[in-house]
């Protein structure tokens, strides 16, 4: 049967049962006790005087006001009342100081998470990887999985996706993954159910300067405008953007808000100005609104498609109009002159 000895920290008295040791601790009031003589003194100064006179010398505890005749007694006091390091025989006043020593000393391989000591650095590393949650790149161990995940999310050294627990080589790769796989707005921290939802958010939100045609983001309104002008075809008045010049011109022609000449790409303030421009510059046919490159072309069109008066070298819209013209302008005039 194993015998367990309980030693009093104050007077070094030994008890062989936990019950008797508990009773002794409650009644033991010694403060300045000579272990050799089993005598308690009123003050520590009287104890030191006694140790010097009766025993020749004494050793003092550097943490508390306790003094001992033998070095072995002081060592036993350190072991009972203070904290010693088993590997380097250093003594510390508190457990916290000893733990700090374990962590900071290169001679110790100590796990601060579970207070275990290991003989080698490799053994400690293996313990961290098997028993805790270990970050290999930062060489840090965490007690819980969510602590390690918080480290991945907050540390600038990690490009980590918290939704699918994946690591990426660069910040750009992580951002591209977040937008395409999880539809995350990195600026607003909002999550959307579909790619269409996040694109609508980019277009509508004033916080984003986003080109919906090439899925690109820009730092400001000026940068987005420069991109649209160089890569796309924006309408200056409507603020709409078109993928081709042809589409932009069709918009100018079809939109009622634009008075536009598609032959020379000019805009006009009102319809009459456009009509005058087409008639004088582009040789507009007044009957079918076709435009010609020259006066000769316009006259040839009028002869072939419309009615030509050989008497006065003028044109009418059709044969009926020409007949009326001849009756009113030429036959009636001849009757008046006769």
- Range from 91-95, 154-158, 272-276 that averages highest in pLDDT: 272-276
What would the pLDDT profile of 155-180 be if each residue is shown by its tens digit?
A: 877 888 777 777 876 778 877 877 77
Q: Kindly report the length of the chain.
A: 338
Report CA-CA distances (Å) from 313 to 85, 136, 279, 309, 326. 123, 96, 19, 5, 12
Contact 16, 4 (CB under 8 A): yes
Residue 316: the pLDDT is: 75
**Residue 69: pLDDT over 80:** no
The 3-class SS string of the chain reads: CCCCCEECCCCCCEECCHHHHHHHHHHCCCCEEECCCCEEECCHHHHHHHHHHHHCCCEECCCCCCEECCHHHHHHHHHHHCEECCCCCCEECCHHHHHHHHHHCCCCEEECCCCEEECCHHHHHHHHHHHCEEECCCCEEECCHHHHHHHHHHCCCCCEECCCCEECCCHHHHHHHHHHHCCEECCCCEECCCHHHHHHHHHHCCCCCEECCCCEECCCHHHHHHHHHHHCEECCCCCCEECCHHHHHHHHHHCCCCCEECCCCEECCCHHHHHHHHHHHCCECCCCCCECCCHHHHHHHHHHHCEEECCCCEEECCHHHHHHHHHHHHHHHHHHHC
Buried b vs exposed e over 44-55: b needs ≥16 C-beta within 10 Å?
A: eeebbebbeeee
Which CATH code for domain 209-253? 3.30.160
Q: Mean pLDDT highest for which of 20-29, 56-65, 266-275?
A: 266-275
Residue 147's pLDDT is 85
Q: Whole-angstrom Cα distance, residue 70 to residue 126?
A: 43
Quick one: average pLDDT of 175-198?
Answer: 77
Q: 150 versus 306: which is more confidently predicted?
A: 150
Q: What proportion of the chain, given as a percentage, has pLDDT over 70?
A: 84
pLDDT of residue 161: 78
Amino acid 14: pLDDT: 65
pLDDT of amino acid 54: 84
Encoding tokens for residue 164?
A: 């699918």
Measured CA to CA in angstroms, residue 307 lies from 299, 316, 332 at distances of 11, 5, 20
Residue 80, pLDDT > 60, answer yes
pLDDT higher for 185 or 311? Answer: 185
In this prediction, residue 338 has a pLDDT band, given cuts at 50, 70 and 90, of: very low
* pTM of the full structure: 0.27
pLDDT tens-place string over residues 27-62: 565 677 777 787 878 787 887 888 888 888 878 787
114 exposed, middle or buried (CB, 10 Å; 0-12, 13-18, 19+)? exposed
Average pLDDT, the chain: 77
* CATH topology identical between 209-253 and 259-305: yes
- Predicted confidence (pLDDT) at residue 2 exceeds the cutoff of 60: no
Residue 129 has pLDDT above 60, yes or no: yes
Instruction: Give the side-chain half-sphere CA count within 13 A for 127.
Output: 17
Range with top average pLDDT, 78-87, 185-194, 326-335: 185-194
Most confidently modeled of 44-48, 248-252, 316-320? 248-252
Instruction: Assess contact for 90 and 84: CB atoms under 8 A.
Output: yes
- Please state the domain extents for the chain: 1-81, 209-253, 259-305, 308-338
For 111-126, what is each residue's pLDDT tens digit?
A: 777 777 777 778 878 8
- Return the number of other C-beta atoms located less than 10 Å from residue 338's C-beta: 5
Of the segments 154-158, 192-196, 247-251, 333-337, which one has the largest average pLDDT value?
Answer: 247-251
Tell whether the model's pLDDT for residue 337 goes beyond 50.
no
- Measured CA to CA, the distance from residue 88 to residue 196 in angstroms comes to 65
For 259-305, CATH number?
Answer: 3.30.160
């Amino acid at each position: 049967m194993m015998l367990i000895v309980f030693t009093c920290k104050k007077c070094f008295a030994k008890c062989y049962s936990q019950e008797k040791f508990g009773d002794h601790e409650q009644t033991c009031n010694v403060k300045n006790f000579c272990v050799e003589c089993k005598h308690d003194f009123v003050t520590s100064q009287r104890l030191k005087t006694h140790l010097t006179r009766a025993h020749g010398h004494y050793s003092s505890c550097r943490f508390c006001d306790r003094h001992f005749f033998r070095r072995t007694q002081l060592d036993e006091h350190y072991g009972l009342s203070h904290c010693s390091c088993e590997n380097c025989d250093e003594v510390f006043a508190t457990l916290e100081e000893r733990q700090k020593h374990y962590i900071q000393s290169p001679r110790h391989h100590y796990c601060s998470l579970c207070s275990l000591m290991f003989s080698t650095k490799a053994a400690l590393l293996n313990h961290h990887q098997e028993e805790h949650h270990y970050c290999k790149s930062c060489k840090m161990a965490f007690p819980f999985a969510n602590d390690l995940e918080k480290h991945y999310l907050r540390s600038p050294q990690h490009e980590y996706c918290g939704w699918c627990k994946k690591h990426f080589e660069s910040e750009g790769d992580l951002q591209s993954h977040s937008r395409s796989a999880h539809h995350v707005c990195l600026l607003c921290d909002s999550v959307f159910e579909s790619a269409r939802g996040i694109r609508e958010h980019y277009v509508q939100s004033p916080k984003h300067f986003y080109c919906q045609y090439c899925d690109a983001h820009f730092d400001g309104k000026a940068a987005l405008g420069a991109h649209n002008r160089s890569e796309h075809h924006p309408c200056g008045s409507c603020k709409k953007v078109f993928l081709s010049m042809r589409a932009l011109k069709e918009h100018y022609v079809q939109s009622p808000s634009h008075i536009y000449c598609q032959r020379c790409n000019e805009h006009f303030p009102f319809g009459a100005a456009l009509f005058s421009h087409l008639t004088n510059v582009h040789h507009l046919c007044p009957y079918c609104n076709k435009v010609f490159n020259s006066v000769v072309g316009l006259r040839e069109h009028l002869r072939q498609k419309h009615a030509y008066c050989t008497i006065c070298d003028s044109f009418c819209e059709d044969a009926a109009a020409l007949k009326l013209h001849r009756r009113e302008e030429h036959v009636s005039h001849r009757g008046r002159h006769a």
